[in-house]
Amino acid sequence: MRFRSESSLLQKRGYKLDQDLGEGSYAKVKSATWLKPGTDKPLKVALKIINESEVPQDFKEKFLPRELDIMKILRHSNVIRTMEIFQASKKIYLALEYAGHGDLLAYIQLRGPLKEIDAATMFKQVVCGLQYLHRNGVVHRDLKCENILLSNNNTVKIADFGFARRMGDRDLSMTFCGSAAYAAPEILQVSE
């Protein structure tokens, strides 16, 4: 019954769910087609679904509001674009730009090492996206290959702002966050 009501809710908003794209700690991401009201051409999107009843209280009160506030303001060719955010029942839905070639780690694992020219192009795009974020007072705090998505033409799209926050030039964050697998040894040593 729950699936049927979610499906009909999404259908009323113009969404038709497709395949699973991924799953994080607190969200599932599915591909979907979206017939935006007032248009006649469906758009492929990634639909991030956060079930509020399954997330810890600190995430719900601290990290989720930050992520949603930040996602609403970002507009850059190298940052994943948010089309729509809506809530129904205990779920929050984020309709995001679809990155057809998936994340950078999977892309490299599938195709092998990047050619130097391709790596340089992607690196430049990551730097442009980060420069945009920092100019707008946003710090990502979890940048890794899995959070760098690639469009169908391999344009870099920085994604997953779950740990992001706004910070001024003189602010100092005292929170250790991100993925332990990518943390510097001295950070891991301090937290033991």
Q: pLDDT digits over 4-35, tens only?
A: 677 888 999 999 999 999 888 789 999 999 99
Question: Could you count the other beta carbons within 10 Å of the beta carbon of residue 65?
Answer: 11
* Domain final residue pick, 97, 117, 150: 97
Amino acid at position 67, single letter: E
* 166 vs 77, residue with greater confidence: 77
25 in the same domain as 69: yes
64 in the same domain as 110: no
146 in the same domain as 76: no
> Is residue 143 within 8 Å of residue 125, measured between CB atoms?
no
pLDDT of 179 over the 50 cut: yes
pLDDT at residue 71, as a whole number: 95
90 in the same domain as 62: yes
Q: Where are the beta strands (DSSP E) in the chain?
A: 15-23, 27-34, 43-51, 82-88, 91-97, 138-139, 148-150, 156-158, 165-166
Task: Please name the residues in contact with 33: beta carbons below 8 A apart, sequence gap of 6 or more.
Answer: 15, 16, 18, 42, 43, 44, 45
* Domain final residue pick, 72, 97, 122: 97
Number of helical H runs and strand E runs in the chain:
6, 9
133 in the same domain as 84: no
Task: Please name the residues in contact with 54: beta carbons below 8 A apart, sequence gap of 6 or more.
Answer: 26
* Domain final residue pick, 82, 97, 112: 97
Q: Domain count of the chain?
A: 2
Strands 43-51 and 91-97: antiparallel
Domain around 55: 2-97
Residue 192 within any structural domain of the chain: no
122 in the same domain as 63: no
- Would you place residue 144 in the very low, low, confident or very high pLDDT band (cuts 50, 70, 90)? very high
77 in the same domain as 116: no
Total-model pTM: 0.87
- Would you place residue 3 in the very low, low, confident or very high pLDDT band (cuts 50, 70, 90)? low
Compute CA 110 distance to the chain's CA centroid, rounded to the nearest angstrom. 21
> Is residue 47 within 8 Å of residue 94, measured between CB atoms?
yes
CATH number at residue 26: 3.30.200.20
pLDDT of 99 over the 50 cut: yes
41 in the same domain as 117: no
Q: Which of 20, 58, 69, 142 is catalytic?
A: 142
Q: Give the residues across from 31 on adjacent strands.
A: 46
Active site residue 142: yes
